[in-house]
Chains A and B, each alone.
Chain A
């Protein structure tokens, strides 16, 4: 072990930890497959690997693991090399171009077109200038070389060197009017003019003093464009002199010489030439003669005068005339541009105005660059020549000197100590003062209302200040009750009250420092908020959380911050300080008594994965979450379903109702309706309730009563509707059936039949009246009847049966009575309306009963009543036709009324009704047909009677 001294100190134990990373990397390697085995694989399974067996990645964006066509350069059709064609025979045809030697990227770059402004929209001519520059360069290149060219180029170069801000391109740039300028021109704009009518501005100036209507200088319709506003551009400082340096200071001769030289160099100052064209030219006028040394004073001024001369001469030699026009070198850019026809804002201006002088640029002409629509810039103008006299150019010596009066400081008294003592706060002094001015105590006014009003307002004012008194005064000025505010009744009391209340309230308020409205010293805690709102803590909460010092509450931001702050303090030497807000120790004492831990159990749903990790079955596997009890009591204190409950209680009724009992409300309503009817009619006592057979007096009622029935239904309808709506709500289908049963007259039992027959007419009337009412209310019961009817096959035999019975009866010698009682055969039919229906498991079919024997010529009975019609008809057989008709009309009207009502209430029911009606109609049709058939049969059989034939027509 100890080979060397250095290693003696180390002892190695255990096995070294292997480098996992390397192993991992190795794991991904695949063995290099045999080429043969790879080839055997289908194309899409072949994998391209490198020498170390790693899959070849072609780059994330160029194919990933598989590039090309399954990692080949081929395609589905295989790989085809490009075709070679020899151009040996046709060399001339071969045209090589740069594109052929460029790759895609280069081509793309080459073909890339720059976005340029087309000439049309090139307002400022940059594109045009660029193009012109190119054209000029090309033209220069094409021109045969010569001295002139060289000189021109030299001149251009010199220009370039000497013209500040003016590039030679612009010298030669041809320009065209842009669209904007052309548009403006179309609209009447002239070059050198401003945009819009000049009147507005002028009027404002002129008409301001007059105050009246602005006067138009050029009349109502003529509009004259304003003068172009002028743009001021500071001349750039191109020399290296300091500010205000005058190179000719103390050498005025040189200045004069310079001036003279300039004068000499100046173009022929003809009057025509004086009319200078001035316009936009950035940095123009380098060679302008007015140029002082401020701008133009480059080295040429002092050193290379000769060169300048040369230059000028050279230019002249170039054949460029020295006069105006194309004398490029001698005029500003504006002139040059104008000469080229590019003149979007050229001002022709008489040079009559005195030369503007900028102090620091000497005699330099103030350049006015006008752009349409631009405000006139600030100008540094100085018309006096005194500029030259000033020490610093641009500054003028003051003509007036102001002397300020001097006041000596006040003399301090000898015993003055410079110590400021703050005066007592105003509020503190106030109570004393207030006490001094306390209004005398006054008796409250006698009127208690007024006193209360005064008290309340006084409290409010005392609490919130006098502003509210003023507000109240403004608001309530009109009301006499508030006269105490303005010295009326109770004013003394009010003043005293306010004062006394103030003395009580304000000391309390003063304790808290005054704050602006809506501003709080610190965010309120939940407790404070609760206290403000007058909430009281729940006893449980008080117990549970007081001791924790409010820690258990939802941690607000402020609490967090507080806690963080607390923990940041080295409270206990820097450990993990968990400082509970509020100080536990103090509140512990308050909590005092030992409080046992409280346990709460609630549902908690562990995640499925958690259960898996803990190797525990999911306790809530597949079960939905338990319903959380809502926080709001109204949610789980829902009213029980009243209708359902009532229906449930009424479900018990049909059993009792089999004893011909009605629900009390129904019975009472019925009774009421009947009683009214009766009283109206004959002053007879009210009928017995509960649908039992009426007494003999009632029975004695005849057609007269029925006559009255046409008015009666209105009363009856009122009463009926009253409970109808409630009933229809309360009762389900079964309830309705029960009602139907209750309202129906009791079925005549076979034993009673003789009696019934004895009281034939009365019974008939009796049967009719409740029937009418009933039908008026429950006209849908027929639909239910029909619904319960057996299928179509059954009626046939039954009908035949009844027919047979009738025939038998006829044969037995019982003559069909004109006002006769309903024949016994009809009993089932009538009974089917009532509870008998309930008793009969399979009630007899409705229509089969033959029409009751009616006297010939009787008017047909209401067809709309459906299946119940025969019964009604039979019952009302004794009443004369007109009466009957009226009764029925009234009933129909009532029905319609009710239908509408119901329709709005119970749409569902309406649906059902409709269905039932359709059914009944169909049924009626069927029965009609059937009856007709029977008629025919009978007629053909010769056994038909008058009554029958009338009955058949009846049903139509």
Chain B
């Protein structure tokens, strides 16, 4: 396997001009889940999306055409997160059954189960590129790294540094694992340096996202503020406020150009902020209830939001 470039070198066509279009018009509403949709995720190309419901099912949609393609049943508890492998052949999901399920997309069979978490798993993430490594974080305050290449059943490594539930993990191309936790810290495990950088934000973090250029880390904190941190130095670059976020795990995301930041509110609104100025540029009512999860199309074509009423909305 040739070594991958570690530095962020996004292909030029993915970078959109800063005056990009911010999706705010409802194009479709995907209905099918009963109960809250806890996560909605695009595949890496942005052609399909997966949604995880509290109804113990994972559903595969074509958000552009607004149709349900497949329903994956097999979880015994609520499904909290899902991630698709780069080649779309497999996806992983996790949730209340304390295992990470690896599914075959086409057949709907469970290929593997990664057991080892002691409590429900909040989040998981594949390593970018070859998707050899799966990182999961759960209520057991542990971040576990799983090996998808070998058949070993044990985690490659377990990081138990967090002092509370791990709500969000992210893996960058710089061989870093980021984990946001309810203990109010973002931990960056730098594999290359062999160091752990802990950024104390003092407020529970529910979502951690890394910008395209991997220089910034966006964290949705439960004090109703989203914070933008410098990845290297840990400086606070910006704070985005205006929404309410106090008790529910909600997502945040960058727009593909890294020019804007999107976040959601517990009252069902979706916000856009200008990244640098931290000014709210757009805000619209997306759902009646809490916006549980949101996902930005990798090319910025559309935005997915999911809510507690079981609806997934596609915004263009």
Contacts and interface: CB of A to CB of B under 8 A. Distances in A.
Interface string B192-222: 1111111111111010000000000000001
Contacts of B136: none
A600 B184 CA distance: 13
Contact of A596 (B159, B191, B236, B307): B236
Contact of A584 (B106, B175, B203): B203
B199 A604 contact: no
Contacts of B229: 597
Contacts of A599: 197-200, 233-234
A236 interface: no
B234 A555 contact: no
Interface in B224-246: 227, 229, 233-236, 239, 246
Contacts of A544: 200, 202
How many of chain B's residues touch chain A, expressed as a range?
35 or more
Interface in A613-649: 613-620
Given A551-B183, A613-B133, A603 B196 contact: yes
A422 B255 CA distance: 68
A666 B161 CA distance: 59
A551 B182 contact: yes
List 3 tightest A-B contacts by C-beta distance, closest first: A619-B194, A599-B234, A604-B196
Contacts of A616: 175, 191-192
Contacts of A620: 194
Interface in B157-202: 157, 159, 161, 163-165, 167, 175, 182-185, 189-202
B289 interface: yes
B308 interface: yes
Contacts of B204: 548, 551, 578, 580, 584
B36 A552 contact: no
A613 B127 contact: yes
Interface stretch (B16-24, B61-69, B141-149, B275-283): B141-149
Nearest to B183: A552
A555, A601, A614 pick with most chain B CB within 10 angstroms: A614
Contacts of A554: 163
Interface of B: 1, 3-4, 35-36, 38, 54, 80, 106-107, 122, 127, 132-133, 141, 145, 147, 149, 156-157, 159, 161, 163-165, 167, 175, 182-185, 189-204, 206, 222-223, 227, 229, 233-236, 239, 246-250, 266, 289-290, 292, 307-309
Contacts of B236: 596-597
A580 B290 contact: no
Where chain A touches its partner, the secondary structure class is loop
B308 A597 contact: no
Contact of A614 (B127, B161, B309): B127
A922 interface: no
Interface in A450-492: none
A606 interface: yes
Interface residues of A, number: 51
Interface string A575-608: 1111110001100100100111111111111110
A601 B196 contact: yes
Contact of B290 (A545, A563, A572, A603): A572
B211 to A, nearest CB: 16
Contacts of A576: 36, 38, 80, 122, 248-249, 292
A571 interface: yes
Contacts of B133: 610, 613-614
A799 interface: no
Contacts of B80: 576
B167 A605 contact: no
A584 B223 CA distance: 7
Given A548-B204, A575-B289, A610 B247 contact: no
A547 interface: yes
A597 B227 contact: yes
Given A575-B292, A604-B190, A609-B147, 12 more contacts: A571-B247, A578-B206, A580-B182, A594-B239, A597-B227, A597-B236, A606-B189, A607-B156, A609-B156, A610-B145, A619-B191, A619-B192
Contacts of B132: 613
Given A573-B289, A578-B167, A600 B248 contact: no
B200 A600 contact: yes
A553 interface: yes
A17 B107 CA distance: 9
Contacts of A841: none
A64 interface: no
Given A576-B38, A578-B204, A616-B192, A607 B157 contact: yes
B141 A555 contact: yes
Contacts of B246: 584-585
A647 to B, nearest CB: 41
A597 B157 contact: no
A616 B246 CA distance: 39
Contacts of A611: 191
Contacts of B223: 547, 584, 588
B147 A613 contact: yes
A547 B163 contact: no
B107 to A, nearest CB: 7
Contacts of B145: 607, 610
A616 B107 CA distance: 35
